[in-house]
Amino acid sequence: MTDTDKEKHGKKMQSDGKMQKIMTGYYIDAKTAGETGKKVAWITSGGPVEPLIAMDIIPVYPENHGAMIGASKMGADLCQKAEEMGYSGDLCSYARADIACSVVDGGPIGGLPRPDMLVCCNNICGTVMKWYEVQARYYNVPLFILDTPFSHTKYTDEAKRYVQRQVEEYVTFLEGVCKKRLDRDRMEEVGRLSVEAQRLWQAVLDTAMNKPSPMTCFDAFFHLALIVTLRGTQTAVDYYRSLLEEMEQRVADGIGAIPNEKYRLLWDNLPIWYRLKWLSQKFAAHDACLVADTYTSAWCMSLRYMTDEGNFLDSMGEGYARAYLNIGVDEMIKIVLEMVDKYDVDGFVMHSNRSCKPYSLGQYDIQRAVQKERGIPSVIIESHMVDERSFSESQTETRIDAFMEMIGQKR
């Protein structure tokens, strides 16, 4: 590789700035909703946001906010504050940071805008139910819980009917709070945009199949924000279309995300938000590119189950119920193995996240399966996604170094 070749790799993406602008605008809109007369709903990351968009309600994500708190290294203080309030240190650090933030208006944006309602979907974990109940009491606002039964392997007809009925209740709930009817045509339009954005997001992630990969999972963690927060809007569709173009251009120009991609890795679990830079540099120093992850692809997994696109409201249930954290370990293994093959990875990096039990439980089984089925090495890093008090640099470093040495020995 020549020096000029080297220079062109690892360059910053143009879309980064665009994303920042959109997110700033989004948070300003949300924070000034009181003045513009718009309603604000807090919603869980895996919750069905499309009806909110269709009702012109601004969706706000405490989990996205939690990620921002983590990335700004403000997590430990807020988590500690929650512990002082009486919450256990074993509780998810998103929940702790959010609950504390409501009381002190802390964090990088001075707290989230006050909600008019809360929407909680338990397709990611059970923690969110208690967390949202706490917040519903604190803000004294109505709470809607969408209960998605755990889908070990199948989505039964009973489950389908059960979820479907709740979707209708959800609509009734929103109509009650907003005192207006849902425009069904608009709902279908939003649904169409949501599916389109998910397809584009998947296409963006798929550009990592190229060698060298034009993006790392650290890029994906960053560009993820819109598919989470603004799924169902034209803004998200436009953004991902231009991001896809940028990635495709990089591929055409042979630009890699890291200077010298020698090894390709898969990441599992949530990011360690306060250590993204350190981790990405650490892996890049070993010429290792984390090309894909199980986390960011969770926001396009519903595509698998979207049977009737013309009827979004009726068909979205299954996609939401079969979210990555609401399926059995055997199903997770299938998805991970698919990713190992698709992105042609040499190793598997698993973040055992003490915050997120549903994500971390079963990791050893998944690890064993990947080792047995594909014979690739893996490493487990113990940490917390937001609470930096539980991160040990030297221990993590040793694990990563040893893991990379092991992969090197294998070659």
Position 72 contacts another protein (CB under 8 A): no
Closer of 331 and 401 to another protein (Cβ): 401
Q: From the DSSP assignment, how many helices (H) and strands (E) are in the chain?
A: 19, 8
The encoded tokens of residue 295 equal 């986390």
Position 281 contacts another protein (CB under 8 A): no
The encoded tokens of residue 245 equal 């173009």
From ligand SF4, another protein, none, interface partner of 64 (C-beta below 5 to 8 A by class): none
Q: Which stretch binds another protein (CB under 8 A): 204-212, 297-305, 310-318, 374-382?
A: 374-382
Cα 86 to chain center, whole Å?
28
Position 121 contacts ligand SF4 (CB under 6 A): no
Position 63 contacts ligand SF4 (CB under 6 A): yes
Applying the rule CB under 8 A, the residues between 340 and 359 that interact with another protein are 352
Closer of 80 and 235 to another protein (Cβ): 80
Position 405 contacts another protein (CB under 8 A): yes
In the 8-state DSSP scheme, what is residue 89? T
From ligand SF4, another protein, none, interface partner of 127 (C-beta below 5 to 8 A by class): ligand SF4
Applying the rule CB under 6 A, the residues between 123 and 152 that interact with ligand SF4 are 124-125, 127-128
Cα 174 to chain center, whole Å?
25
Residue with tokens 């896809």: 244
Position 311 contacts another protein (CB under 8 A): no
Position 373 contacts another protein (CB under 8 A): no
Q: How far apart are CA 287 and CA 74, in angstroms?
A: 30
Q: Which stretch binds ligand SF4 (CB under 6 A): 183-191, 307-315, 331-339, 351-359?
A: 351-359
Position 115 contacts another protein (CB under 8 A): no
> Phi and psi (nearest 5°) for 119?
-125, 120
In the 8-state DSSP scheme, what is residue 386? S
Q: Which stretch binds ligand SF4 (CB under 6 A): 141-149, 233-241, 281-289, 352-360?
A: 352-360
Give the residue among 318, 297, 313 at the shortest CA–CA distance from 154. 318
Give the residue among 297, 299, 265 at the shortest CA–CA distance from 280. 265
Q: How far apart are CA 220 and CA 296, in angstroms?
A: 7
To the nearest 10°, report the CA torsion of 80, 65, 113, 124. Answer: -100
Position 356 contacts ligand SF4 (CB under 6 A): yes
Closest distance of CB 376 from another protein, Å: 11
Position 36 contacts another protein (CB under 8 A): no
The encoded tokens of residue 83 equal 């512990």
> Phi and psi (nearest 5°) for 43?
-140, 150
**Using CB under 8 A, which of 377, 385, 386, 387 touches another protein?**
377
Strands laid side by side in the 117-121 sheet: 58-60, 40-43, 117-121, 143-146
From another protein, ligand SF4, none, interface partner of 398 (C-beta below 5 to 8 A by class): another protein
Q: Which stretch binds another protein (CB under 8 A): 117-125, 179-187, 221-229, 397-405?
A: 397-405
With contact defined as beta carbons under 8 Å apart, do 232 and 352 qualify? no
Position 402 contacts another protein (CB under 8 A): yes
The encoded tokens of residue 289 equal 């590119």
Closest distance of CB 383 from another protein, Å: 9
Residue with tokens 């990620």: 67
Q: How far apart are CA 143 and CA 269, in angstroms?
A: 28
Q: Which amino acid is at 226?
A: L
Residue with tokens 């990335």: 71
Position 119 contacts ligand SF4 (CB under 6 A): no
Closest distance of CB 228 from another protein, Å: 30
Residues in contact with ligand SF4 by the rule CB under 6 A: 63, 92, 94, 124-125, 127-128, 270, 325, 355-356, 358-359
Residues in contact with another protein by the rule CB under 8 A: 352, 364, 371, 377, 380, 382, 390, 392, 394-395, 398-399, 401-402, 405-406, 409-410
